[in-house]
Amino acid sequence: MCGYLRQSGFKEFEDKVLGAIFLLLGMPLMVVVAVLIKLTSPGPVLYVQKRHGFGGRRIRVYKFRTMRCRRRTARSGLATSSNGFHSNSASVNARARVTSLGRVLRATSIDELPQLFNVMKGEMSLVGPRPHPVKLNQRYMATVEELPVRHCVKPGMTGLAQINGARGPIRTTNDMRRRVQYDLEYIQCWSPMLDLKIIGITLLKGFLQRESLELRD
């Protein structure tokens, strides 16, 4: 863990430089996606959810909206997890509300691109433990003792757990333990080359992996 923390200055530099490059390259696609969302279903373009960030502090994580809004949400500016819009619900009803465009965005992980703004704000890193929804963390905090350790670094858009398949729905304590073990391994073994490797694998494979439409990381 100490090796990671000693290099935190470089990590910040890496996030700002690469984050700005990815944001610039991804902006045309993000504009197109935003327009398509507005044209294909009523409601806001972005979905915002409170998640745990560095030090366990709560941050507002951005995603493209992939589900049909309930009527009251469609009239608001941003869909959030606290106003009746539960876009990550694992229920059958929630899956039925996923739009056709939303299925494509989820399957390709394009819905995650707005998190580049979280990176540029300094709330997230390009690489690190994925930020969990607050309720998900609270559910497993007592049974997975190492879980809080992942909050000693900034959460990431992608991470060692994600490229090793520990992504998607967390249904059991073992699912959470597996993800946390990868997160701890990342923290302990961090290096600039490891970050570049994870980013490269994510770009090459991440957008080709089909993912469950249930609760995602």
As given in the structure block, the two tokens for residue 73 are 């949400």
Q: Does 154 have pLDDT greater than 90?
A: yes
Question: In whole angstroms, what is the distance from residue 30 CA to residue 37 CA?
Answer: 10
Residue 71: pLDDT band with limits 50, 70, 90: low
Q: Does 196 have pLDDT greater than 80?
A: yes
Domain boundaries, the chain: 2-208
Strongest mean pLDDT among 112-116, 189-193, 212-216: 112-116
Average pLDDT over residues 41-68: 94
Question: In whole angstroms, what is the distance from residue 136 CA to residue 75 CA?
Answer: 28
- The reported pLDDT for the residue numbered 179 is 93
- The reported pLDDT for the residue numbered 82 is 42
- Between 22 and 97, whose confidence is greater? 22
Residue 80: pLDDT band with limits 50, 70, 90: low
Q: Does 89 have pLDDT greater than 80?
A: no
Q: Above pLDDT 90, what percent of the chain? A: 61
- The reported pLDDT for the residue numbered 206 is 59
What are the backbone angles phi and psi of residue 67, rounded to the nearest 5°? Answer: -125, 155
Question: In whole angstroms, what is the distance from residue 62 CA to residue 68 CA?
Answer: 17
Question: In whole angstroms, what is the distance from residue 201 CA to residue 210 CA?
Answer: 15
Q: Does 216 have pLDDT greater than 70?
A: no
Mean of all residue pLDDT scores within the chain: 83
Give the CA angle between residues 80, 51, 111 to the nearest 5°.
60
The strand pairing partners of 111, in sequence order, are none
Closest CA to 61 of 144, 164, 135, 132: 132
Average pLDDT over residues 166-174: 84
- The reported pLDDT for the residue numbered 214 is 38
Q: Does 125 have pLDDT greater than 70?
A: yes
- The reported pLDDT for the residue numbered 160 is 94
The crossing angle, in degrees rounded to 10, of helices 192-205 and 8-40 is: 20
The strand pairing partners of 51, in sequence order, are 59, 133
Q: Above pLDDT 70, what percent of the chain? A: 80
- The reported pLDDT for the residue numbered 165 is 85
